[in-house]
Amino acid sequence: MATKQMFICCRKAIYQQLSLILKEYNKQVDVTYFARTADLEDALRRDEGCCMLMLDAVMEDRSIFELAKKIKEDSPYINTLLLVSSDTTKDELVEIISAKAVCGVLLIPFTSYQVESYMTKMCGIAKEEEASPLPGKKNAVRRHTF
């Protein structure tokens, strides 16, 4: 199975949380982290075959929403997941969702299940299940009738 390229452009604290979640996908996903949006734009211009982008809404001084729209116009095959904090206004979210610039919005703080769900939906990446060395034991269900 070929690995898929994923870009993450977010604050370092969020990346640390994401990296713990993404460790389980090491064989399926090649993750590239960007601390600045300028570096992300350079990588996107090089067309490195990215299938999914996780973009933090709180980056630098420029509007991430405009960047997300530009990315969708230039690279429509990239599925963008927007990471937003509670500071993001409802109007901003409605605008970016209605423009179809992102494929999903994830509210910070998020759970590993939410990230895994978006990865499965956007790129078809599922967590590999490891075989347990112990034989499976079926739980007996007892029903009582009174």
| Cα–Cα distance for residue pair 23/37, rounded to 1 Å | 24
- Per DSSP (E only), the strands in the chain are 4-9, 29-34, 50-56, 79-84, 104-107
User: Residue 131 has what pLDDT?
Assistant: 46
Q: For residue 83, what pLDDT band results from cuts at 50, 70 and 90? A: very high
pLDDT over 70, % of the chain: 83
User: Residue 135 has what pLDDT?
Assistant: 55
Cα 40 to chain centroid, rounded: 15
User: Residue 80 has what pLDDT?
Assistant: 92
4-123 maps to which CATH number?
Answer: 3.40.50.2300
**Domain limits of the chain?**
4-123
User: Residue 129 has what pLDDT?
Assistant: 57
Give helix 12-22 / helix 112-123 axis angle, nearest 10°.
70
- Tabulate helix, strand, coil % of the chain (nearest 5): 40, 20, 40
Q: For residue 93, what pLDDT band results from cuts at 50, 70 and 90? A: confident
